[in-house]
Structure 1
Amino acid sequence: MSSHPESLTQHDEDALVRELAQQVLETTAPEELAVFDETADEYFADPQGVLDAKSRDEAVGFGVELALLTPYILAVAKTVVQLLASMVGDAVKKEGQPSVNSFIRRLFGRREQGPSAPETLTPDQLALVRKVAVERGRLIGLKADRAELLADAIAGGISVAPSS
């Protein structure tokens, strides 16, 4: 058994951030999916630099909104994945799950091999995820309505579970 079963490797965290961000983009800005991998690579190489690209894009005036949504989604998704990892750490230990990575993917509604259904968060946990997403969005410069919309999309992606 590993010494820190509740922690994510940087690789796993980045993969989960990408997965959540793609899920959010499918509903909020599907047109950006075509350039998602390139934008994500740039974000992970220099998160602050990509977020600060706003001033360069505004000077040019080309595609400002479109060009900036993905980096913001990635930044908020990173904060949410870190929160989820801390929230599910105890549950992973208690249930003997193989990894936080697998558990979080189940929160995203992704079915893992085996009989268990995707996990869901309690309403209080989901409210906390949404609140943290709004706060992070505002902190990195999104307007209130954009931060709320992004938080709703993230919370919706996490809370979706198949009905019985």
Structure 2
Amino acid sequence: MTEEHVDSLIPYDDVVQEALRAVVGRVLGDVARDGLPGDHHFYITFKTQAPGVAIPQHLHERFPDEMTIVLQHKYWDLKVEAEHFEVGLSFSQIPSHLFIPYSAITAFVDPAVDFALQFHVDAGESEPEPHEEAGNDGPTVVVEDGSNVVSVDFGRKK
């Protein structure tokens, strides 16, 4: 007896992606209200060309595809809404305002507790292009194998 692949009529991958992005929004909302607790800090990677992303031109030039920001010591005006967040960060001592829809996020990491979420953004891409970190206020993140990494990629068909 052979197994046949059956396409689901329920968009499970979209539902799971939306729910996990809501986790990011909730955590950022708590931080906007109460500040970062303990040693928690976040590395947030996002697609700079995704719809709705608004970052300064000098950052678009430096990060034409994808960028990682750090929310730890030096950030300000964190505003969290249902579909996006906004934050002020400094890059090479230039203050910058970033507007990032949750749908643009490809990874969210809290290295203090080895927690990470990875998101599938576009079915046409197999791997994100290599990119340098924005270097706003933190070191490179290394998430060890065996950590609490949740990767969601159902290989969605369009």
TM over 0.5: no
Name the structure with the higher strand share.
Answer: 2
Name the structure with the higher helix share.
Answer: 1
Query: TM-score with structure 1 length normalisation?
Result: 0.27
